[in-house]
A = this chain, B = another copy of it.
């Protein structure tokens, strides 16, 4: 690809990012930047391309406050610019697969019938996972790819984030009206701008030495 980022700038961006504890509640992410971050979510790769997710982008102040109360009182949901709730399709079924196939036919200008072999393969994989009891686990893995792509994308755009597993998913589902939709909350991520005095911004980042986590084979 032409016009790629210099490697040193990628590393600088990833070093710059940290899990923001205190966001600046007065700063909103500009529309153009936010649209790109939504695209990063939409474009996330997933197993067999199934995209087993919906991303809830919360900006309504009252909802953000309610989600804070379901986040063990961590303040990020309320204070950030855009709060993303990552939800995964439970018990992924033929309806979802057929929705994907219809979209594939539309984008590629082919008939759904021509995708019959792909459908059979996909349904077979899902059925095996369902029988093994690993279907939801498998799909949940995919949402963490989205989380990783989102945070890295935000970092290179100069947008701060805080990934949040310390939430109460069942309460989130209730607040967001997810019951009965087939989608359930897994994890969340706050996005926005660090508060200038967030002390964690200047706390040295702790990572194992490269030689302790990278093994050359």
Residue numbers of A with Cβ under 8 A of B are: 1-5, 7-17, 19, 32-33, 35-45, 47, 49, 51, 53-60, 63, 85, 99-100, 103-104, 107-108, 137, 140-142, 144-153, 156-158, 163, 165, 176, 187, 203-210, 213-217
Contacts and interface: CB of A to CB of B under 8 A. Distances in A.
Given A39-B210, A145-B147, 11 more contacts: A5-B9, A7-B157, A11-B40, A14-B39, A41-B214, A57-B214, A100-B208, A137-B137, A144-B148, A149-B152, A152-B152
Contacts of A108: 203-204, 206
12 contacts: A1-B12, A5-B13, A14-B153, A17-B45, A38-B210, A39-B210, A42-B214, A58-B217, A60-B217, A107-B204, A144-B145, A147-B148
A184 B107 CA distance: 38
Contacts of A147: 144-145, 148
A7 B35 contact: yes
B51 A208 contact: yes
Given A9-B3, A151-B149, A63 B205 contact: no
A39 B144 CA distance: 19
A162 to B, nearest CB: 9
Contacts of A35: 7
B145 A163 contact: yes
A36 B7 contact: yes
A193 B44 CA distance: 20
